């Protein structure tokens, strides 16, 4: 068993540290935020990750993991140190490496023995050599500190599962022995291990994340076409997903991708290209589609309700994805802000992210549950696909609303069942159901894709042929 230090008690660092402790290693977690350190000492987990509190408590109480803000203490006797600090975007999209630099400098100044430095944060190509330079510049002794790039592929909301079931472990280094030593730590997990150079490891993380973003943006663009032609994108996706060349993941059309990773990694890759004078046309389009995607909801609501001024809209789900309390670049922020600009009153509920949301969106009325949200609303919009929203009593929900309009921003509900429950239902790239219900309670009947297509067909038929 090894002595491992992990820097940064965020989604990645906290899960990695706890996971290594569970595998039997002796782990020290280093965190600069004193409130995070004291919360963890009290066995309070500062983030929402299924399974993490139980795992932390057990390993903490059995002494396999400790937490500290002191680098000398936190690195004492360690064989490995993993850097898992944040790398958010700066204004121009450049990944901000100030926390990585600070962590590297602190390691160099505090380490007293030989140490393998593993870089887990998502960083632009070339960062491992930057870290190696910092370590060499500030080290207080003659020890070598090989740097291994070990990008992290875990998903928030499933991070504990992903730690123990990684799809692949990537270790890149110019020091093969160091890469092998880091790879060996993951051996009990039995996943494929790829040993490569630092730059390949760094690029593989960006390519993987941006490819996921591209798949979703592709489906979102297809959804616009499906809406227009009255085709159900969910069925199209299920047919596509049967092709083993594609696989079925990340084919869901919806309100687009948010969170702390995909948006910043798309920006990071675009920045990397720009700094070498290269334009990435596909990736630029992937980003642009995603920027527009949340506003589809506004257009759908305008079509269904007429002017949004003075309307009350209920939002189900605020976090950027289910299973997480993370509000970073959540789609709910864009949807709600735009609806507020249009003059709407917003009521909302999320099982985990209400506190974080209240700091960002203070004008929203936060409710105890989905039923309280629905009460008196002109429309409901499902923004985050928490499981509990799939279990709602839809009849009860529809009956509580002023107008039974439901826009499913994640295509997770069954259109037929929603229609049966009394809703006018629309997904994203999914046929609308139940427009008849709006007759008499709206100024005019909403235009469907089919209506538009029919109008265009008529217009074409009326075009003179003897030009
Ligand atoms: N969140 C994810 O799902 C995910 C998945 C894969 C990769 N990543 C990458 O992993 C990295 C970390 O992401 P995160 O979401 O865990 O970040 P986070 O912001 O949740 O956590 C970072 C933690 O590091 C601490 N910290 C910052 N500087 C420090 C220092 N010098 N010493 C000690 N602690 C310090 C912060 O206080 C914070 O608690 C990022 O590069 C991210 O892109 C994230």
pLDDT at 364: 98
- Using the mean position of ligand 1's atoms as its centre, give its distance from the Cα of residue 458 in Å: 57
- Using the mean position of ligand 1's atoms as its centre, give its distance from the Cα of residue 225 in Å: 38
Q: Are 145 and 80 in contact (CB under 8 A)?
A: no
Instruction: Tell me how far apart the alpha carbons of residues 29 and 66 are, in angstroms, rounded to a whole number.
Output: 6
> Which of 196, 226, 261, 367 is the catalytic position?
261
CB within 8 A of 99, min separation 6: which ones? Answer: 8, 85, 86, 87, 121
Average pLDDT of span 145-167:
96
Q: Which two tokens stand for residue 220?
A: 């979102």
Q: Which atom of ligand 1 is nearest to 99's Cα?
A: 28
360 and 347 in a single domain? The answer is yes
346 has a pLDDT exceeding 70: yes
Cβ-based neighbour number of residue 348 at 10 Å: 25
- Using the mean position of ligand 1's atoms as its centre, give its distance from the Cα of residue 351 in Å: 23
Question: At 182, phi and psi to the nearest 5?
Answer: -65, -45
Average pLDDT of span 218-236:
95
465 has a pLDDT exceeding 80: no
Whether 108 maps to a domain, the answer reads: yes
Average pLDDT of span 448-457:
47
Residue located nearest, by CA, to atom 33 of ligand 1: 31
Taken in order 120, 122, 127, 133, is the CA torsion positive or negative? negative
Instruction: Tell me how far apart the alpha carbons of residues 327 and 432 are, in angstroms, rounded to a whole number.
Output: 29
CA 135 to chain centre: 32
Quick one: what percent of the chain has pLDDT higher than 90?
Answer: 88
314 and 265 in a single domain? The answer is no
246 and 184 in a single domain? The answer is no
316 and 228 in a single domain? The answer is no
Residue located nearest, by CA, to atom 27 of ligand 1: 85
Residue located nearest, by CA, to atom 36 of ligand 1: 8
53 and 73 in a single domain? The answer is yes
CB within 8 A of 462, min separation 6: which ones? Answer: none
Residue located nearest, by CA, to atom 31 of ligand 1: 103
Instruction: Kindly give the pairing relationship between strand 193-196 and strand 169-172.
Output: parallel
Whether 458 maps to a domain, the answer reads: no
Instruction: Tell me how far apart the alpha carbons of residues 211 and 227 are, in angstroms, rounded to a whole number.
Output: 24
Whether 457 maps to a domain, the answer reads: no
pLDDT at 143: 86
168 and 215 in a single domain? The answer is no
Whether 75 maps to a domain, the answer reads: yes
68 and 160 in a single domain? The answer is yes
Instruction: Tell me how far apart the alpha carbons of residues 459 and 467 are, in angstroms, rounded to a whole number.
Output: 16
Where is the domain boundary, 161, 196, 231? 196
pLDDT at 437: 65
Where is the domain boundary, 166, 196, 226? 196
Question: At 319, phi and psi to the nearest 5?
Answer: -65, 165
Q: Which atom of ligand 1 is nearest to 95's Cα?
A: 41
- Using the mean position of ligand 1's atoms as its centre, give its distance from the Cα of residue 10 in Å: 5
pLDDT at 309: 97
288 and 420 in a single domain? The answer is no
Whether 467 maps to a domain, the answer reads: no
Q: Is 341 exposed, middle or buried (0-12, 13-18, 19+ CB in 10 A)?
A: exposed
pLDDT at 441: 61
229 and 133 in a single domain? The answer is no
- Using the mean position of ligand 1's atoms as its centre, give its distance from the Cα of residue 12 in Å: 6
154 has a pLDDT exceeding 70: yes
Q: Which atom of ligand 1 is nearest to 36's Cα?
A: 39
pLDDT in tens, 94-140: 999 999 999 999 999 999 889 999 999 999 999 999 999 999 999 98
pLDDT at 144: 86
Residue located nearest, by CA, to atom 21 of ligand 1: 10
Average pLDDT of span 187-208:
98
Ligand 1 pocket test, candidate residues 14, 74, 118, 152, most atoms within 8 A of CB: 152
pLDDT at 447: 52
Average pLDDT of span 322-348:
96
Is 344 one of the annotated active-site residues of the chain?
Answer: no
What are the DSSP calls for 22-88, one per residue?
Answer: HTT-EEEEE-S-HHHHHHHHTT--SS--TTHHHHHHHHHHTTSEEEES-HHHHHTT-SEEEE-----
DSSP 3-state of 351: coil
DSSP 3-state of 447: coil
DSSP 3-state of 248: coil
pLDDT at 434: 67
Buried b (16+ CB within 10 A) or exposed e, 185-224: bbeeeeeebebbebbebbbbbbebbbebbbbbbbbbbbbb
Instruction: Tell me how far apart the alpha carbons of residues 151 and 182 are, in angstroms, rounded to a whole number.
Output: 12
> Residues, the chain, total?
467
Q: Are 80 and 116 in contact (CB under 8 A)?
A: yes
pLDDT at 433: 72
Give strand pairing partners of 345: 312
Quick one: what percent of the chain has pLDDT higher than 70?
Answer: 93
305 and 380 in a single domain? The answer is yes
Question: At 393, phi and psi to the nearest 5?
Answer: -80, 95
> Which segments of 306-427 does DSSP mark as H helices, in order?
331-341, 354-360, 370-374, 387-390, 394-400, 415-420
Average pLDDT, the chain: 93
pLDDT at 432: 75
Q: Which of 326, 327, 305 is nearest to 314 (CA)?
A: 305
pLDDT in tens, 49-71: 999 999 999 999 999 999 999 99
Q: Which of 452, 386, 397, 453 is nearest to 425 (CA)?
A: 397
32 and 166 in a single domain? The answer is yes
Whether 320 maps to a domain, the answer reads: yes
179 has a pLDDT exceeding 90: yes
CATH for 333: 3.40.50.720
Whether 137 maps to a domain, the answer reads: yes
401 has a pLDDT exceeding 50: yes
Give strand pairing partners of 379: 313
- Using the mean position of ligand 1's atoms as its centre, give its distance from the Cα of residue 51 in Å: 19
448: which DSSP letter?
P
224 has a pLDDT exceeding 90: yes
Token pair 């009153």 is at which residue?
345
pLDDT at 431: 76
Ligand 1 pocket test, candidate residues 37, 85, 101, 108, most atoms within 8 A of CB: 85
pLDDT at 183: 98
- Using the mean position of ligand 1's atoms as its centre, give its distance from the Cα of residue 96 in Å: 12
pLDDT at 23: 98
Instruction: Tell me how far apart the alpha carbons of residues 232 and 235 are, in angstroms, rounded to a whole number.
Output: 6
pLDDT in tens, 403-441: 999 999 999 999 999 999 999 999 999 977 766 666 666
What is the number of domains present in the chain? 3
Token pair 């594609």 is at which residue?
246
pLDDT at 444: 53
What residues are in contact with ligand 1 under a 6 Å CB criterion? 7-13, 30-33, 36, 84-87, 99, 102-103, 106, 121-122, 152, 154, 156, 260-261
Cα–Cα–Cα angle for 18, 22, 27, nearest 5°? 55
Least confident range from 54-63, 240-249, 379-388, 454-463: namely 454-463
pLDDT at 456: 45
Segments forming the whole domain that contains residue 439: 295-451
253 and 312 in a single domain? The answer is no
* Confidence label for 142 from pLDDT (cuts 50, 70 and 90): confident
Where is the domain boundary, 292, 323, 341? 292
Whether 463 maps to a domain, the answer reads: no
């Amino acid at each position: 068993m090894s002595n491992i230090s992990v820097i940064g008690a965020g989604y990645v660092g906290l899960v990695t540290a706890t996971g290594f402790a569970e595998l039997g290693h002796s782990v020290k977690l280093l965190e600069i935020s004193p409130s995070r350190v004291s919360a963890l000492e009290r066995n309070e987990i500062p983030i929402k990750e299924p399974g993490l509190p139980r795992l932390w408590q057990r390993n903490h109480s059995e002494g396999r993991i400790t937490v500290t803000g002191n680098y000398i203490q936190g690195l004492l006797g360690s064989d490995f140190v993993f850097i898992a600090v944040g790398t958010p975007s700066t204004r121009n999209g450049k990944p901000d490496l100030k926390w990585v630099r600070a962590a590297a400098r602190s390691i160099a100044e505090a380490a007293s023995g030989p140490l393998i430095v593993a870089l887990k944060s998502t960083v632009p190509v070339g960062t491992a050599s930057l870290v190696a330079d910092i370590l060499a510049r500030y080290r207080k002794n003659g020890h070598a500190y090989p740097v291994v790039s070990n990008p992290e592929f875990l998903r928030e909301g499933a991070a504990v599962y992903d730690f123990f079931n990684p799809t692949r472990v990537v270790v890149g280094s110019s020091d093969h022995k160091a890469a092998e030593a880091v790879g060996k730590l993951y051996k009990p997990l039995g996943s494929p291990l790829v040993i490569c150079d630092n730059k390949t490891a760094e690029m593989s993380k960006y390519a993987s994340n941006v490819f996921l973003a591209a798949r979703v943006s592709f489906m979102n663009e297809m959804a616009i076409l499906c809406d227009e032609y009255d085709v159900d994108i969910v069925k199209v996706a299920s047919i596509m997903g049967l092709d083993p060349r594609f696989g079925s993941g990340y084919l869901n059309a919806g309100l687009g991708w948010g969170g702390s990773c995909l948006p910043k990694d798309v920006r990071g890759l675009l920045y990397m290209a720009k700094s070498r004078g290269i334009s990435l046309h596909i990736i630029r389009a992937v980003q642009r589609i995603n920027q527009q995607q949340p506003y589809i909801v506004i257009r759908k609501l305008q079509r269904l309700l007429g002017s949004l001024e003075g309307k009350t809209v209920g939002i189900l789900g605020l976090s950027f994805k289910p299973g997480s309390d993370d509000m970073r670049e959540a789609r709910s922020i864009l949807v709600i802000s735009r609806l507020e600009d249009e003059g709407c009153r917003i009521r909302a509920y999320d099982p985990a992210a209400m506190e974080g949301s209240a700091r960002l969106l203070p004008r929203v009325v936060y409710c105890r549950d989905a039923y309280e949200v629905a009460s008196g609303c002109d429309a409901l919009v499902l923004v985050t696909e928490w499981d509990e929203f799939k279990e709602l009593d839809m009849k009860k929900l529809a009956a509580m609303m002023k107008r039974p309009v439901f826009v499913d921003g994640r295509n997770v509900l069954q259109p037929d069942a929603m229609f049966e429950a009394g809703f006018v239902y629309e997904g994203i790239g999914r046929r609308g159901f139940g427009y008849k219900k709006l007759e008499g309670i709206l100024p005019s009947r909403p235009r469907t894709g089919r209506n538009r297509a029919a109008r265009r067909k008529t217009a074409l038929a009326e075009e003179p042929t003897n030009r």
